[in-house]
Amino acid sequence: MNVKTCATSDVVKRWEDIDWNKATIYVKKLQIRIVKAQKEGKYNKVKSLQYLLSHSFYAKALAVKKVTDNKGKRTAGVDGEIWNTPESKFYAIMKMKSRGYKPQPLKRVYIPKKNGKKRPLSIPTMIDRAMQTLYKFTLEPIAETTADPNSYGFRVGRCTQDAIEQCFTSLNKGKSAKWVLEGDIKGCFDNISHEWILDNIPIDRNILKKWLKSGYIETGKLFPTETGSPQGSPISPVISNMVLDGLETVIKEKYHKKFINGAWYFPKVNFIRYADDFIVTGESYELLEKGVMPIIKEFLTERGLELSEEKTVITHITEGFDFLGCNIRMYGNKLLTTPAQKNYKAIIEKIRKIIKRNPSIKQEILIRILNPIIRGWVNYQKFNVSSKRFEDLDYDIWKALWNWCKRRHPKKGKKWIANKYFHVIGTRTWTFSVKTDGKIDNGEDFYLKLVYATNTDIRRFTKIKAETNPFDSEWQIYFEEREDLKMRNELRGRRIINNLWKMQKGICPYCSTKITADTDFRIHQQDSPLGKKKYLVHSECHRNLHDKTKDLELAL
């Protein structure tokens, strides 16, 4: 692939002229070549391919597209600059040069945590975000090749459900381990040793050092950064994963199947990690406390990290433990994964606050606000034993909405209120819904209705194979088939969206890239001489299409 890095920019003169399919294919091919060279041990070739990728026009263009399409696109760094026009985006590509590059300090903000404390979030400038995303393209193929098999956080094609399903697989049998070490690393992002990162992360050392030492600005003052990989930076999750990769291997080197005194010995030690949260299973409390714990502490100490005494505990499986919003517990001889109490309480409190803070909002708008929130939580929990929780959610939301309705009409009777806000739709008699201007296919009135959790089918999640690599050519067909299967499952029972997806062959007409279950999607309506035309587009593309419309000011 002998391509001059400047050739593309000589042809493309505007942001609108960039062929994003071609750009994606070009970047993916180079990433596949990096993986191949890494597996063959040709590390000099890896560096050459990384250089070619980080200096290519297409990779720079995709990096700019990523930082201007995500939810943080309107959040500026210390320079106050955002790229919200095609001209500014195209100019940004031209500015992305490694020679003479000097990152600016990070803008420090704090976001609340569940325990009442605050987590520091560091916001880079747009140019620094784009540069980090560019170098992330070159680092991710290596990170995926060297990653622990059962690491699931911040990795392409993997999600929390994969980690939860692996927990189930490791604990659900009668002979499985009965003790679980719940590990949590204290301030993982903030305390990683810079020396270890610079010595072990295989990208341009000079640029990496500039990012690590750029400092942050808080209350108008510049503070140095001596440790850590700041939360909020695009490349930080990949770096943090690479820092923790190898922990599973170290544990398995000591605790694996052995042939002792004429019989096989199984220590039943399994490791599952999602970001900086992890669990280790074991056959006894003593094995985890005196055997596994010292190995973990030694591994982390080399990287400037330590376990959180507050959150690291050893639990018997019959008592159960919370992991990634789920409770995993053995009931008799049966292991169940159910929505965690804290997770359920958080979602219902969020919904109640929205309903209570918007007493005079139109019913239609309230439904449109609540539906994505309800659907998101339900889709996350639908792979667990959630039927009881789904019933609880529907009932608790109904109570909140009924109180909302009564407060709006204090002088009306319950029957009048019920007839106004609740209708019979399908087999559900109390459907919180409102008639809109639209019509369904048979000409009847269209009712916009609230999403009900109990309408969602509960099914077992198909876990990703632990050894897969999305940048390895050997696994390309596997990932394509997996994405199609996930999308078909996501569209099951959603006739209109399913028809649009098939008609468009799974491609978003706005950005010409594939629509998947992970990218999320929306229906966009566009006026045409024949009436309203519907398209299925990415959620971010949908926001871009409506950027010029005035946003509703709601008390969320």
Residue 124: inside a domain, yes or no? yes
Contact status, residue 504 vs residue 486, Cβ threshold 8 Å: no
Helices (H), 172-270: 188-191, 194-200, 205-212, 236-244, 247-254
User: 162 lies in a domain?
Assistant: yes
- The pLDDT of residue 438 is 59
**Same domain membership, residue 176 and residue 107:** yes
What pLDDT is stored for residue 6 in this prediction? 46
Same structural domain for residues 444 and 477?
no
Residue 440 has a pLDDT of 54
Quick one: average pLDDT of 269-291? Answer: 95
Answer yes or no: do 48 and 187 share one domain.
Answer: yes
Q: Is 100 left (phi over 0), alpha (psi -120 to 50) or beta?
A: left
User: 239 and 384 share a domain?
Assistant: no
Longest Cα–Cα distance of the chain, Å, equals: 83
Range in 185-199, 376-390, 451-465, 540-554 with the lowest mean pLDDT? 540-554
- Please write the tens of the pLDDT for every residue from 209-247: 999 999 999 888 999 988 888 788 999 999 999 999 999
Rounded Cα distance, 464 and 252, in Å: 21
Residues 515, 544, single domain; the answer is yes
Residue at token pair 């973990």? 296
* Alpha-carbon span 453 to 348, nearest angstrom: 12
487 compared with 401, residue with greater pLDDT: 401
Among the ranges given (244-253, 309-318, 369-378, 541-550), the one the predictor scored with the smallest mean pLDDT: 541-550
Q: What percent of the chain has pLDDT over 90?
A: 66
Report the distance separating Cα 182 and Cα 282, nearest Å. 11
CA angle 269, 270, 275 (to 5 degrees): 140
Last residue of a domain, one of 222, 244, 266: 244
Q: Say yes or no to pLDDT of 13 above 70.
A: yes
In whole angstroms, give the CA distance from residue 18 to residue 21. Answer: 9
Residues 412 and 500 in one domain: no
Is the per-residue pLDDT at 158 higher than 70? yes
Cα 16 to Cα 63, 228, 283, 350, 552, distances in angstroms: 15, 38, 59, 40, 29
Q: Give yes or no: residues 186 and 86 share one domain.
A: yes
Does residue 78 contact residue 217 with C-beta atoms inside 8 Å? yes
Q: Indicate if 483 and 547 belong to the same structural domain.
A: yes
The arithmetic mean of pLDDT across residues 294-322, rounded, is 94
- Of 8-17, 47-56, 127-136, 364-373, least confident by mean pLDDT is 8-17
Average pLDDT, the chain: 89
What is the total count of domains within the chain?
A: 3
Kindly state whether residue 125 falls inside one of the protein's structural domains. Answer: yes
Tell which of 244, 266, 288 closes a domain: 244
The answer as to whether 332 is a domain residue is no
Residue 262: the pLDDT is 63
Helix (H) or strand (E) holding 428: strand 428-439
pLDDT per position as a tens digit, 329-343? 999 889 999 999 999
Query: What one-character-per-residue DSSP string does 464-495 give?
Result: PPTT--TTSGGGHHHHHHHHHHHHHHHTTT-H
Pair (192, 73) in one structural domain: yes
- Is the same domain home to 435 and 493? no
Using the predicted structure, report yes or no on whether residue 30 has a pLDDT greater than 80: yes
CB 224 within 8 A of CB 212: no
Nearest 5 degrees, angle CA 469-CA 474-CA 477? Answer: 90
430 has a pLDDT exceeding 50: yes
pLDDT greater at residue 27 or residue 533: 27
- pLDDT band with cut points at 50, 70 and 90 for residue 552: very low
The predicted structure's pLDDT at residue 496? 79
pLDDT of the residue at 489: 78
> Which range has the worst mean pLDDT, 118-132, 138-152, 413-427, 434-448?
434-448
Domain check: are 154 and 66 in the same one?
yes
CB of 534 within 8 A of CB of 523?
yes
pLDDT at 554 over 50: no
Q: 260 pLDDT exceeds 80? A: no
Distance of CA 117 to the CA centre of its chain: 23
Measured between alpha carbons, how far is 44 from 37 in angstroms, rounded to an integer? 9
User: What is residue 445's predicted lDDT score, i.e. its pLDDT?
Assistant: 67
CB 69 within 8 A of CB 543: no
Helix 43-54 to helix 126-146 angle (10° resolution) is: 150
Asked if residue 126 is part of any domain, the answer here is yes
Q: pLDDT class for 492, splitting at 50, 70, 90?
A: confident
pTM over 0.85: yes
- Look at residue 1 and tell me whether its pLDDT is greater than 60: no
Q: Whose structure tokens read 């204290």?
A: 186
Of 197, 220, 244, the residue that ends a domain is 244
SS3 9: helix
Least confident of 159-173, 279-293, 495-509: 495-509
Domain hosting residue 518, numbered range: 473-554
Question: 118 vs 19, which has greater pLDDT?
Answer: 19
pLDDT at 326: 96
Is residue 350 situated within a structural domain? yes
Same domain, 383 and 526: no
Residue 320 CB partners (closer than 8 Å, separation 6+): 327, 328, 329, 330
- Would you state the pLDDT for residue 551? 38
Domain presence at residue 293: no
Q: Judge whether 48 lies within some domain.
A: yes
- Among 321-330, 449-458, 520-529, the least confident range: 520-529
Q: CA 187, 81, 127, 103 torsion: positive or negative?
A: negative
With a pLDDT cut of 70, the percent of the chain lying above it is 92
